[in-house]
Amino acid sequence: MSAATNTTDATTGKAAQPSMLATAMPLLLQLRKLAFLLFFVTTLLFFLLRLAGDPALVLAGNDASPEQLAAIRKQFGLDRPLFIQYFSYMWHVLQFDFGKSLASGEPALWKVLDMLKRTLHLAVMAVVFSASLAIPIGAWLGFRPETLGRRIVGAIIFVFQGVPGYVTALVLIQLLAVNWHLLPSLGYGPLEWKTWIIPTVSLAFFMAPNLIRVTAANVAEAMREDYIRTARANGAKPRELLWKHAVPNALLGTAALLGTQFAMLMGGSAIIETIFSWPGIGWLLLESVQTLDFPVVQAEAFVIAILVFTINALVDLSFRFLDPRLRSKGT
Amino acid sequence: MSRFNRSKLRNAASFEIVVAFTLLAIVAFLAIFGKLLQSHDPMQGDLMARFTPLGQKGFLLGSDHLGRDLWSRMLAGLQWSMGCALTANIINLFIGTTLGLIAAERPGWPRTIARQITDTLQSFPFLVVAIVVVVIIGHGFWPLVLTLGFLAWPIFQRVVYAEASSIFQRDYVKAARIAGVGRITIMFQHVLPGVRASLMVIFAFHFAGLLIAESALSFLGIGAPLGVPTWGNILAESRQYMLKAPWMMLVPGGAIVVTVVTMNLVGDGIAGLARRRGRSIDA
Amino acid sequence: MNTASDRPVVRIENLSLAFLGQDTVVEALRGISLNIAAGEIVGLVGESGSGKSVTAMSLLRLLPRGKTRIPATSSVNVLDRDVLKMSDVELQRVRGGEVSMIFQEPMTALNPVLRVREQMFDVILRHQKITEDDARKLCIDLLRDMKISDPERTFNAYPHELSGGMRQRVMIAMAFSCRPKLIVADEPTTALDVTVQAQILSLLKERATATNTAVLLITHDLAVVAQLCDRVYVMYKGKIVEEGPTKTVIGNPQHIYTRALLNALPEGKAPKSRLETVAAAMIEGEAAVSPVPAAPIQPVQVASGKPLLEIHGATVRYPSRFDFLGRTTAYNTAVDGVSLTINEGETVSIVGESGCGKTSLANTLVGLVPLSGGRITYRGQDLAKLDPATRREIQIVFQDPQSSLDPRWPVWRIITEPLTVAGRKSRADLRAAAGELCTLVGLDPKMIDRLPHEFSGGQRQRIAVARALSVRPRLLLLDEPTSALDVSVQAQILNLLLDLQATYGLTYLFISHNVSVVRHISDRVAVMYQGQIVETGPADQVLSHPTHAYTRTLMDAVPSLEKVFSAA
């Protein structure tokens, strides 16, 4: 394909200047996407949850009489046609009002945000731990992937890749808490760092092998690039080749996976949170879905969608930081 | 490195492939003929033989808190989990490939829609979507299969889209278009054979992922119905007896790890074979 | 200008090198010896696989030790010290310090995440004990010496912000930064346009002369060597087959391979004459080679003069910018109002550098890219409304024989793919047709069951030609069909194309950046620049007496053997 020769504006014929709007465009487009997504998910969940159960029944309990049910329906507006309820609901959602939790009566959004900080706490620790393991090991493995020692380490990491986080968690609890009484087996305390260790390690051990393998593969690929040959021809030492030339180029893939893994923990850590009675949003999600606590489920989906979106945006931003080529493209 | 070492390393690579497919054969055999190898009824407990450690009183892998044979329960669970993951994986493969090809081949609104569906699904951690859907549609084999089958396909879509897009840019596809070959023919004769190797690799890795997802949901008590002997359920039951009977946790945990590592090895093996073949073809 | 002193900068003696594969040992170099005196510019010429790049890499011991084997009798002396016996630390001092390298691909040879500044500092501060301030001044001076108009900006730029030519200037500046005794330039201009190539080569020569630095220029292009080098070594299959002063070697080649290589070049041969191929010369032996090509000249096909394809003001635009609603707000214009007529039976060439729009025009002609404006008619009918059968009369051969054949298909399926569209045919019929087509393009019909990777580049291009011929086209678009090939293979493909044209009266639209190939094969030439055709006319007239300023620049930039000898 022939490259561009000259760029002209379709309407004026003059060379187009990038405006403020053009610079902010990618972000605007992304936000538009997010708005669509939130609308779509909220709508879908509204009808899906109605299919799953009757909120009046949840509110009143299973042994409620028909009169009690009717009263509750009237009180919460559940006797109105579904579409009216939907529009009224969406109107409230626009004001970030998801209603009150059917279980506890707190505002659903507050409940979710309250749990969120514990999930973020766990996720940040796990991601930092896993990245600080993965980058050095990955760089070491990718530098000369064919040597015997590295192949053995690679094989061990390969096996670890097949160990689900909850299996690691149970084994660690068995050893560290049940057998040796070194650490508490469950519970969450903001200042009790001992309660953090097993959950963090379990999550990190699940995420790190993948991260190591991706980093190693990217470093190995970077080591085959022409600019490495240039640096070698200019007398660079092996250490400089790796850390100055290969690793900075390989970090793009690591950052992408790290972002994916971090996003995955936004609710995807439900099992670890359940095992450790760590009351985060994953735990809350499970709890609220099972008890049909509709407002909380809705608020939860809303918050998770925004979180995942934000994480992806931050990862994109980090790409621009890591790769100057993406800085000037503006997409 | 001497030449001796290199040939040893290469043998090690093919050794990995042999190990992978041997393990796969064993796992498949146990999954298919497991019923014949069960030494006890997996559901029937013997209250006199509760918490029997490994290898005692005819319990190959010990017994649980109700005196049920763990070996028999593991085999029953393997069949359940493998069946679930395999069916879901085939549905994933089909949906993901179709949407990936549509996105790669048809610019305009079909591409937009195919990518939008994928993006929407990927705006949530998979487990979040799975938890909500599985709880709403209920327990059991088929609800779980359908949940995993209809929600876990984006990985196939992404890879097929990326690879098919690049194949559509190749000159041989252009030559076929110029000769007047139809789009469907191009799709089936040039593009699909081109992505086949990658599809096989993902199929294996994704199989492992689905096994983990299935056992995770069962572990949380929302996947397999309670009481059905699946690995996730057995693992969940073991939590109360960690002090008394650690094997109740180690046996299902180990089984999950071995199966997942097997599938990962198979994926790695296929990827290695494809790379080697690709090198001789493309270079 | 030979300033050779007594002590050679490089003295390679009896260097052999083998690559150790998994079960195979491939001998890349078989006992080569080579000397470079101080300040001398030496060429190392050969086709792909001749071992010329391996020689360059061996000079700095850049090939992985575990995968190569060098016998103890070999020595590579740089300033009287044997590189093969150096420790890693000593090697690191030599690399970039006493000897520096320039590589072929300016796009990938610089680290994309580091600024030019950081990469230049990397070299300078490693080999010289100077302050950052002095290093900075040195860099700016070096870049200014490379005739970079805004050295400050280039100094602070990332590689992707620079054009290919600029990057290669930066590479050369880096190579000169530590006052090396020798610069090894491995195909430094192969990836660049001719006009840029001319600038880069003259800069390289100018700086080398000014600093009395020796240069080892590795290239496949004899014309580049003729223009630049004092002495030349010719490599063939891992051996040096001839060496001597450039003018002697090129003007009076002694070795059969050198002669064959020169005879394979289209430059200076009668237009549309058959070119001698190296393979034939090497097989027939010394006796068969005479200075004048032995093969008879084919009668030139007389053009019927009836217009086959008429292009009127063709414009091709690609959307380049979109607004909030996804509407296009700006276009890149690749082809800008091009008009051209191609008559039945003639060869029309479009010459131009990368980005001039020639490939977009070709893609439009075969219907891959829609026309944004203007009109194209084929045999008087609108191109866009042709019936499929007529449309198939226009076929194309692409540049890269690697990408143009499906790697998973056997040759017979590839060749007969266009036939399957015209109607159902049995497998036996298709295989028979494939066999015939193979014979037609000079391939053994027994090979139709093989896969593309089992063929060489030239053979793959023959397969691509066979596929295009399968539907009996009238008009063949040839999009740089020989650019990816070696000179000797190029000669074979050009011969094949000329033969086919003479036999079947084909019409060719030949797209190329290579002026001497175009001059050889064309009846008429159109010169394309920035999406427009700036000059058109009979080949000899346009290329020998250009009237447009761009054509003149282009022709001046083309390295040529004739120019060197007429200047002498």
Mean pLDDT (10-residue bins), chain C, 568 residues: 63 92 85 92 90 91 87 90 90 91 87 92 91 92 90 91 90 92 91 88 92 93 89 92 91 88 84 76 46 40 72 88 71 89 92 88 89 89 87 90 90 92 83 92 89 88 93 91 86 90 90 90 92 90 90 88 66
With 0-12 / 13-18 / 19 or more C-beta atoms within 10 angstroms meaning exposed / middle / buried, residue A56 is buried
Judging contacts by C-beta atoms under 8 Å, the chain B residues touching residue C408 are 193-194, 281
Three-class DSSP category at C221: coil
| Smallest Cα distance from A164 to chain B, Å | 7
Start-to-end CA span in chain B (Å): 25
In the prediction, which pLDDT does C292 show?
Answer: 35
Which of C566, C512, C558, C520 shows the shortest CA–CA distance to C540?
Answer: C520
Distance between CA C45 and CA C235 in Å, rounded? 6
Using a 10 angstrom Cβ sphere, with 0-12 exposed, 13-18 middle and 19 or more buried, the burial of residue B224 is: buried
**CA dihedral angle for residue C447, residue C450, residue C452, residue C457, rounded to 10 degrees:** -30
CATH code for the domain in which residue B254 is found: 1.10.3720.10
Q: Is the minimum CB–CB distance between B6 and chain C shorter than 8 Å? A: yes
- Which residue, C174, C82, C79, is CA-closest to C128? C174
Residue type, A281: I
Contact A33 B124 (CB under 8 A): no
- Give me the amino acid identity at B172: Y
How many C-beta atoms lie closer than 10 Å to residue A104's C-beta? 11
Q: Which of the 8 DSSP states describes residue C86?
A: -
Element (H, E) at A28: helix A20-52
Judging contacts by C-beta atoms under 8 Å, the chain C residues touching residue A4 are 318, 320, 332-334, 355
Residue with tokens 């070194």: A182
Helices A247-268 and B126-137, packing angle to 10 deg: 20
Minimal Cβ distance to C360: which of A1, A231, A249: A1
Contact A158 B127 (CB under 8 A): no
**Chain A contact set for C324 (CB, 8 A):** 21, 25, 28-29
Report if residue B149 sits inside a domain. yes
Q: Which of A239, A271, C411 is nearest to B214 (CA)?
A: A271
Residue of A nearest to B119 (CA): A37
In this structure, the strands spanning A6-9 and C328-343 are antiparallel
User: How distant is the Cα of A75 from the closest Cα of chain B, in angstroms?
Assistant: 25
List, in sequence order, every residue forming a beta bridge with C26; answer none if it has no partner.
C19
Under a CB-based contact definition with an 8 Å cutoff, are residues B187 and B105 in contact?
A: yes
Whether residues A10 and C328 touch (CB distance < 8 A) is answered with yes
State the virtual CA torsion across C33, C38, C42, C44 in degrees, nearest 10: 40
Contacts of C96 in chain A (CB under 8 A): 233-235
Whether B153 and chain A come into contact, CB under 8 Å, resolves to no
The reply to whether residue A236 touches residue C92, judged by beta carbons under 8 angstroms, is: yes
| Selected residue of A166, A207, A265 to mutate for chain B interface (largest B Cβ count, 10 A) | A166
Residue A21 exposed, middle or buried by CB count within 10 Å (0-12, 13-18, 19+): exposed
**pLDDT computed for residue A331 by the predictor:** 39
- The CA distance from A106 to A104, in Å, is 6
**Does residue B282 belong to any structural domain of this protein?**
no
Which chain C residue lies closest to B186 (C-alpha atoms)?
C417
CA distance C406 to C361: 24
Residue type, C8: P
| Phi–psi pair at A164, nearest 5 degrees | -65, 150
Closest alpha carbon to C67 in C117, C17, C106, C135: C17
Mark yes or no for CB contact A289/B242 under 8 Å: no
- Would you call A308 an interface residue with chain B, using a CB distance cutoff of 8 Å? yes
For the segment B35-43, the average pLDDT, to the nearest whole number, is 76
- Residue A328's pLDDT is 64
Among all residues of chain C, which has the CA nearest to that of A233? C95
CB of B135 within 8 Å of any CB in chain A? Answer: yes
CA distances to A201, A272, B242, B245, C134 from B238, in Å? 21, 16, 6, 8, 71
CB–CB of B153/B192 below 8 Å?
A: no
Residue B58, in any domain of the structure:
yes
Decide: C116 and C146 in contact? Cβ < 8 Å: no
Contact C355, C369 (CB under 8 A): no
Q: Please enumerate in sequence order all residues whose Cβ is within 8 A of that of C279, keeping only pairs 6 or more positions apart, or say none.
A: C488, C492
Q: Is B118 on the interface with A (CB under 8 A)?
A: no
* Domains of chain C from N-terminus onward: 8-268+276-281 (3.40.50.300), 307-393+473-566 (3.40.50.300), 405-471 (no CATH)
- Number of separate domains in chain B: 1
* C511 interaction partners in chain A (CB closer than 8 Å): none
Start-to-end CA span in chain A (Å): 21
Chain centre distance of CA A140: 27
Q: Which amino acid is at B112?
A: T
Query: pLDDT tens, C172-222?
Result: 999 999 999 999 999 998 888 888 898 999 999 999 999 999 999 999 888
Burial annotation C113-134 (CB, 10 A radius, 16+ → b, else e): bbbbbebbbbbbebbeeeeeee
Alpha carbon distance C203, C172 (integer Å): 9
With CB atoms and an 8 Å threshold, state whether C20 touches B193.
Answer: no
Rounded to whole angstroms, the maximal C-alpha distance in chain B is: 78
Establish if C102 touches chain B: CB-CB under 8 angstroms: no
Instruction: Indicate the angle between helix axes A281-290 and A247-268, nearest 10 degrees.
Output: 30
Among C333, C334, C331, C365, which Cα is nearest to C348's?
A: C365
Residues of A in contact with B208 (CB under 8 A): 162
In this structure, is residue B35 part of a structural domain? yes
C320's enclosing H/E stretch is: strand C307-322
- Three-state secondary-structure class, residue A7: strand
In contact, C33 and C14? CB cutoff 8 Å: yes
3-class SS of residue C538:
strand
Residues C470 and C500 sit within 8 Å (Cβ to Cβ): no
| Separation of CA C538 from chain center | 25
- Closest Cα in chain C, distance from residue A94 (Å): 23
Of A151, A271, A290, nearest to B219 by CB-CB distance is A271
Q: CB of C332 within 8 Å of any CB in chain A?
A: yes
Q: Can you give the residue range of the structural domain that contains B53?
A: 3-276
Q: Say if residues A31 and C382 touch (Cβ distance below 8 Å).
A: no
In a domain, B281, yes or no: no
Q: Say if the Cβ atoms of C158 and A4 lie within 8 Å.
A: no
C408, C445 contact by CB (below 8 A): no
* B12 has pLDDT over 60: no
In a domain, B152, yes or no: yes
Other CB atoms closer than 10 Å to residue C432's CB: what's the count?
A: 16
Q: Which residues of B touch C392 (CB under 8 A)?
A: 179-180
* Residue A129 φ/ψ region, left for φ over 0, alpha for ψ in the -120 to 50 degree band, beta for the rest: alpha
| Interatomic CA distance for residues B172 and B167, integer angstroms | 9
CB-CB: which of C95, C171, C335 is closest to A235?
C95
For C114, the 3-state DSSP assignment is coil
pLDDT digits (tens, 9 = 90+) for A171-192: 888 888 877 877 777 767 666 7
Residue ranges of domains in chain A, CATH in brackets: 7-93 (no CATH), 108-329 (1.10.3720.10)
Give, in order, the Cα–Cα distances in Å from A120 to each of A123, A128, A263, C379: 5, 12, 10, 70
> CA angle, corner A286, sides to A280 and A292, nearest 5?
125
Residues 401-420 of C with CB under 8 A from B: 402-408, 414, 417-418, 420
Taking CB atoms and an 8 Å limit, are C113 and A28 in contact across chains? no
Mutation site for A-interface testing, chosen from C60, C94, C111 by largest number of A Cβ within 10 Å: C111
Contacts of C277 (CB under 8 A, 6+ apart): C260, C264, C488, C491, C492, C495
Burial class (CB in 10 A: 0-12, 13-18, 19+), A152: exposed
Q: Which tokens go with C565?
A: 């000898």
Side chain identity at C219, as an amino acid letter?
T
Give me the count of residues in chain C: 568
Contact list, C103 vs chain A (CB under 8 Å): 226, 229-230, 233
Say whether residue C356 is in contact with chain A using an 8 A CB cutoff.
yes
Is B33 a member of any domain? yes
Cβ(A309)–Cβ(B123) under 8 Å?
Answer: yes
Quick one: pLDDT band at residue B203, thresholds 50, 70, 90? very high
Contact assessment for residue B130 and residue B217, using Cβ atoms and an 8 Å cutoff:
yes
| CA atoms of C566 and B279, how far apart (whole Å) | 48
Please tell me which of the candidates C97, C110, C171 has its beta carbon nearest to residue A235. C97
Is the model's pTM score more than 0.90? no
Query: Given CB atoms, is B242 within the 8 Å cutoff of chain A?
Result: yes
| B139: in domain | yes
- What parts of chain A have a pLDDT lower than 50? 1-18, 330-331
Strands C347-351 and C524-529: parallel
Residue closest to A103 by CA, chosen among A299, A250, A243, A318: A299
Min Cα–Cα distance to chain A from B47, Å: 25
Phi, psi of B181 (to 5 degrees): -70, 135
Of C395, C452, C453, the CB nearest to B178: C395
Q: Confirm if C441 and C398 have CB atoms less than 8 A apart.
A: no
Q: Contact, A22 vs A330, CB < 8 A?
A: yes
Q: Is C398 on the interface with B (CB under 8 A)?
A: yes
Could you tell me if C96 lies within 8 Å of chain A, comparing CB atoms?
yes
> Cα–Cα distance between C165 and C194 in angstroms, integer?
11
Cβ pair C403:B1 closer than 8 A: no
C100 to A21: CB separation less than 8 angstroms, yes or no: no
State whether residue C113 sits within 8 Å of chain A by CB. yes
C407's CB contacts (< 8 A; 6+ apart) are B281, B282, C451, C452, C453
> Touching check for B238 and chain A: CB below 8 Å?
yes
User: Position B22: which residue type?
Assistant: T
Residue C74 pLDDT: 92
Count the alpha carbons within 13 Å of C15 in the hemisphere toward its beta carbon: 28
Considering only CB atoms, B172 lies closest to which of C22, C23, C404, namely C404
Helix (H) or strand (E) holding C335: strand C328-343
